[in-house]
Amino acid sequence: MPAPVQLPRIPGGEISGEILSVGSAVANWKIGDRVAVQSNLFCGRCEFCLRGQESICLRGKLLGVQEDGGFAEQVGVPATSLVRLPANLDFAASAGRTLAGSTAMHMLTQRASVKPGDWVLAMGGTSGVGSVAIQIAKQLGAHVISTGSTEEKRAFARGLGADHVVDTTKKDWAADVREITGKRGVDLIVEHIGGDVLLQCFNCLARGGTIVTCGATAGREVQLKLWPLFVKEQKLVGSYGRSRADIQAVLEWAAAGKIKAATTEIFSLEKTAEAFAALRGRRVMGKVIVQPN
């Protein structure tokens, strides 16, 4: 995070569970309701909140970063941040989609759009955002290309519905994307890696195409080539978090069987550190769940 995190802090922003108690001013929720939590905490009063753009609230905070989050048996959250779980979706299935899944939903349906027949490149097919982006793009009728650094990861992405998966360990993987699209390039790229990966994305973006990006783990500063950007009328669009509507949409799609679970492992709360070790070791494909008893 660019801002320092005040310690001690309980992390965990991708939460679902059951309501144990409600404040006296809460009218719409009752004890026992099954909910997911919008982790982009928002004020509900600023110019952007009033337009429904919760994720860019002027007083926005991140649950698990600036407020204590979900690696716990209980967590206190504002009632305004709750989203009702569909009846046939369990907590693990919800928690595995609430944050990364809704991020992908926000990127593909709010910050950009997909038409049937479009070419979409979803970066990192085994990542939280990438794995759901593949499925949303397929549901919207796109031809989907994804990426993976091992054959196992590429097979995982194909299993989620990707029509083609390119090997990002090849230096010029963008050439493979151009080749697949008959030299045309893709209409939309769902990017969350940043650095040189973002620059490579421009090498396989079609004229009039859009890159929507929500992450920069591989580098926050890049040198853009402005000439091809405007000559080809391309767009680079930022996307941050989600609104409750995006969470509701991704959970409803999941309940309807349109988005598969990508959960690979469930750890008990006491083994949270092991869950992180599995993520850091890059052994994980899809989502890891921490489940209190």
CA atoms within 13 A on the CB side of 139: 20
In the complex with Zn ion, the residue whose CB is nearer, 43 or 229, is: 43
Q: Counting contacts by CB under 5 A, is residue 41 touching Zn ion? A: no
Region from 54-62, 82-90, 102-110, 118-126 binding Zn ion, contact rule CB under 5 A = 54-62
Question: Exposed e or buried b for every residue in 176-209, given b needs 16+ CB within 10 A?
Answer: bbbebbeeebbbbbbbbbbeebbebbbebbbeeb
User: Is 105 in a helix, a strand, or coil?
Assistant: helix
Q: Counting contacts by CB under 5 A, is residue 216 touching Zn ion? A: no
- Enter the tokens of residue 109: 């349906």
Region from 44-52, 106-114, 162-170, 252-260 binding Zn ion, contact rule CB under 5 A = 44-52
Element (H, E) at 16: strand 16-18
In the complex with Zn ion, the residue whose CB is nearer, 57 or 249, is: 57
Q: Counting contacts by CB under 5 A, is residue 49 touching Zn ion? A: yes
Distance CA 231, CA 271 (A): 52
Q: Counting contacts by CB under 5 A, is residue 43 touching Zn ion? A: yes
Q: Give me the least distance between CB of 49 and Zn ion, in Å please.
A: 3
Out of 19, 22, 26, 46, point to the residue binding Zn ion (CB under 5 A). 46
Q: Among candidates 170, 179, 169, 195, which has minimal Cα distance to 121?
A: 179
Region from 2-10, 35-43, 128-136, 154-162 binding Zn ion, contact rule CB under 5 A = 35-43
Tell me the site size for Zn ion, rule CB under 5 A.
Answer: 5
Region from 53-61, 71-79, 81-89, 101-109 binding Zn ion, contact rule CB under 5 A = 53-61
Q: Give me the least distance between CB of 55 and Zn ion, in Å please.
A: 10
Distance CA 39, CA 242 (A): 9
Out of 15, 35, 41, 57, point to the residue binding Zn ion (CB under 5 A). 57
Cis ω before 8 (30° cut-off from 0)? yes
In the complex with Zn ion, the residue whose CB is nearer, 55 or 210, is: 55
- Label residue 123 exposed, middle or buried (CB < 10 Å: 0-12, 13-18, 19+): buried
Interacting residue ranges for Zn ion, rule: CB under 5 A: 42-43, 46, 49, 57
